[in-house]
Structure 1
Amino acid sequence: MSTPRFLDIEYCQTDDALFPTAIAWSLGDGRMKTVIIAPDDDWLPADGDLGDVDLNYLEEQGVPLLELVRELHQDLPDQTVYVDGFDPDEILIDKLFGAVGQEPPFEIAPIAELITGLDIDTLEDQRRQLMIDEGLEPQLPENGVYALLLLARGEGLLDG
């Protein structure tokens, strides 16, 4: 069995906007990558209201979409990538790849499809507890991926 891959996306959601702002994913060797995302102009609402999201930060620190998509193609080809299952991850991935006219090279599945011995509520409770125990800030995508890696390791799905 190959090492499961995990992904978490932070996003901006207002009445008029829903788009990814940061993404983290795990690699086959257990390392992680984290990227701030430079938003596509088409994602931004006409009224400019992004709630508490700092557009200047995203534009200055963010990676261009084409570069990010290229990296995801390199790192996650033909993979099933597991997410916590509580965010609109599929919509966000489609938005990300759609902005550059491509299809995602991977399939997204909730962690409950990987860890089948526990129901979704128990998985979420354990994930939340791991975040608290490890002192992880939930709004950072790398922390979401780390918590999923710890969950999988706890279930014997990872080495180490």
Structure 2
Amino acid sequence: MSIPRFLDIEYCQTEDALFPVAIAWSLADGQMKTVVITPEESWLPEDGDLGDIDLLYLEEQGVPLLELVQELHQDLPDQTVYVDGIDPDELLVDLIFSAVSQDAPFEVAPVSELISGLDSEAIEDRRRQLLFDEGLEPQLPENGVYALLLLAQEEGLLDDL
């Protein structure tokens, strides 16, 4: 059985900025990868206001975009990658790849296209309940991906995790 791929992106959003700060995605075997992202200088607002985002942490711990893009090309070529459909994931993926003048090697689709038996609201309610039941912090992208994997498993779309 081919395991659907999932992706979630944590991001910074202020009045003057919207950019990714961390990303997680699932692999063909159900494993996950998580990466903190070093932001592009052009993404940062001139006033320096990043809300509760720690820029020093991102710069010290983050992976350069070119490395991230290479890894995504390696892990997700010619895939449809499902997202929760709530966050601006498609826009954030475009930001990542356009920063290095490349196109994403995968297509982004809302999980509602994969799970056709439930409407978007029911899917989101179930996803939130899974996060709560598992004691997971919803803002961490790896937890978002894990919840989507659990949801797909509940729907019979993959074997036991």
Distance 1:110 1:15 in 2: 26
Aligned partner of 2:91: which letter?
Answer: I
Alignment of 1:73-152 (within 5 A): 73-152=73-152
* Deviation (angstroms), 1:2: 2.1
Aligned partner of 1:75: which letter?
Answer: D
Q: How many residues align?
A: 160
* Deviation (angstroms), 1:144: 0.1
Alignment of 1:30-109 (within 5 A): 30-109=30-109
- Give unmatched runs, 5+ long, in structure 2: none
Aligned partner of 2:103: which letter?
Answer: E
Matched residue of 1:28: which SS?
coil
Structure 1: 4+ residue segments shifted above 3 A: none
Aligned CA-pair RMSD: 0.6
Aligned partner of 2:86: which letter?
Answer: F
Matched residue of 2:108: which SS?
strand
TM-score (norm 2): 0.98
Matched residue of 1:104: which SS?
coil
Post-superposition Cα deviations, 1:102-136, rounded to whole Å, max 9, x if no partner, equal: 00000000000000000011000000000000000
Name the counterpart of 2:5: 5
Aligned partner of 2:36: which letter?
Answer: I
Q: Any conservation in 1 of the 2:2–2:158 contact (CA below 8 Å)?
A: no
Identity %: 77
- Give unmatched runs, 5+ long, in structure 1: none
Distance 1:25 1:91 in 2: 16
Aligned partner of 1:64: which letter?
Answer: P
* Deviation (angstroms), 1:3: 1.2
Aligned partner of 2:44: which letter?
Answer: L
Post-superposition Cα deviations, 1:4-36, rounded to whole Å, max 9, x if no partner, equal: 000000000000000000000000000000000
Aligned partner of 1:69: which letter?
Answer: V
